[in-house]
Amino acid sequence: MGMTITEKILAEHAGLEYVEPGQLINARLDVVLGNDITAPVAIREFEKLGARKVFDPERIVLVPDHFVPNKDIQSAEQAKIVREFAKKHGIVNYFEVGRMGIEHCLLPEQGLALPGDVIIGADSHTCTYGALGAFATGVGSTDMAAGMATGEAWFKVPETIKFVYYGKLRPWVGGKDLILHTIGDIGVDGARYMAMEFTGEAIAELSMDGRMTMANMAIEAGGKNGIIPPDEKTIDYVKRRAKRDYKIFKSDDDARYARVIEYDVSKIEPVVAFPHLPENTKPISQVANIPIDQVVIGSCTNGRLEDLRVAAKVLKGHKVHNEIRLIIIPGTQEIYRQAVAEGLVDIFIEAGAVVSTPTCGPCLGGHMGILAKGERAVSTTNRNFVGRMGHPESEVYLSGPAVAAASAVLGRIASPEEVC
């Protein structure tokens, strides 16, 4: 019996020839990741273990990105803990303000997440790196601490659901719409502790940016990981960035899947997830006249260059509605620079948007766009739970950058076809 790509990667890192779903394994880690919220907890646990040094200062990545630039004294203290730990242990991949980015945009860009890796991160959206053909999953801060000390982690091998996307994408439909449609179909627990393997001709047509958006939100369906088998597009992306060797894995033809689910993407419109769950989805044609107060374009889900280009295409020649706040946050400093070079930032500012340095800020209700009581936002982020972006009586609607930009222009949730 063959193995899926997820099973093959885990077997390789466990030193085994074969693994199967449900099996408990101990696996070697390629990358251990933490941020300014989760790393301080892990650092305290690391010190409780009595560990004197990290397993490999080149394999640990520390990215202060949630409350930076620091919004208050507490967040400054959190960032200081991470900074001092990085200095003490000679962490090579510590990214300070001005050189950092949103972690899940930054690691692929920097060639730190690669095909065939096993990556753990004390952040649930670590599953993003599955877009590169890695096994990547979020863990708690105590698991991060153990990973920093030993370079290993234990896993239960997950079952895999295979998702096949066929057909031709409609205008304005991208990776965010495909994953929201999928979550709307199977529910927020539809892939609980399972690998979500994304395949098919429509996936092959997606850019790497679009693929990362899909893998990023596997956790919103309860997935242990999301993963896309590498192809020439993947290899072209990583070979220009990789700082170490990597290995390509693909699923066997006779691999076992818990389920196989197929979607005809030609039938999928731009999708909006209504409050207060990512599964509460509707196609844009079924969205009634819903006025909004704020739009956020950015985050580890949709803060990449392609997302900014889509937003600029919609916004060019238009103004943000005079009752709307539009906040645009490039995912990394390099994405910011490219957006400036391409004139995208000029388009945003001319339209009436504010453009921020990279930060997770508003996504988790941290800063840079908190909602007041009764306010509504359209956001390209990944979660719309009660109080996620501010007051518990505010509302967050999730969409891709095209719908978000169109909504900013019209002052209500809108299709880009109404603007362009």
How far apart, in whole angstroms, are the C-alpha atoms of residue 42 and residue 72?
21
Could you tell me which CATH number the domain at 5-263 has? 3.30.499.10
Cα(279)–Cα(182) distance, integer angstroms? 8
Q: What is the pLDDT of residue 239?
A: 93
Residue 364 has pLDDT above 90, yes or no: no
Structure confidence at residue 177 (pLDDT): 98
pLDDT, tens digit, for every residue of 48-64?
Answer: 998 899 999 999 999 99
CB 19 within 8 A of CB 11: yes
Count Cβ atoms within 10 A of the Cβ of residue 161 and give its class: 0-12 exposed, 13-18 middle, 19 or more buried: buried
C-beta separation of 213 from 226 below 8 A: no
Residues 123, 103, 180, CA angle at the centre, nearest 5°? 65
Mean pLDDT of the chain: 96
Instruction: Report pLDDT digits (tens) over 85-112.
Output: 999 999 999 999 999 899 999 999 999 9
Give the per-residue pLDDT at 366. 86
Q: What is the pTM of this model?
A: 0.94
- Is it the case that residue 282 has pLDDT exceeding 90? yes
Number of other CB atoms surrounding residue 172 within 10 Å = 21
Kindly indicate the confidence band of residue 294, based on its pLDDT and cuts at 50, 70 and 90: very high
Given this model, what pLDDT does residue 292 score?
97
Give percent of the chain with pLDDT exceeding 90. 94
Contact 63, 30 (CB under 8 A): no
Q: Which CATH superfamily is domain 269-418 in?
A: Aconitase, domain 3 (3.30.499.10)
The answer to whether 105 and 303 are in contact (CB under 8 A) is yes
pLDDT tier for residue 328 given thresholds of 50, 70 and 90? very high
Distance (Å, rounded) from C-alpha 56 to C-alpha 58? 5
CA-based Rg of the chain, rounded to a whole angstrom? 20
pLDDT of res. 386: 86
Q: Where are the domains of the chain?
A: 5-263, 269-418
Query: What 3-state DSSP class applies to 103?
Result: helix
CA end-to-end distance (rounded Å), the chain: 51
Band (pLDDT 50/70/90 cuts) for residue 363 is: confident
Residues 151-162: tens digit of each pLDDT: 999 999 999 999
In which residue are the tokens 């979550």 written? 183
Task: Return the percentage of the chain with pLDDT > 70, whole number.
Answer: 100
Q: What is the mean pLDDT of residues 192-197?
A: 97
- How far is CA 67 from each of CA 112, 329, 348, rounded to the nearest angstrom? 23, 14, 24
Angle between helices 305-315 and 208-216 (to 10 degrees): 100
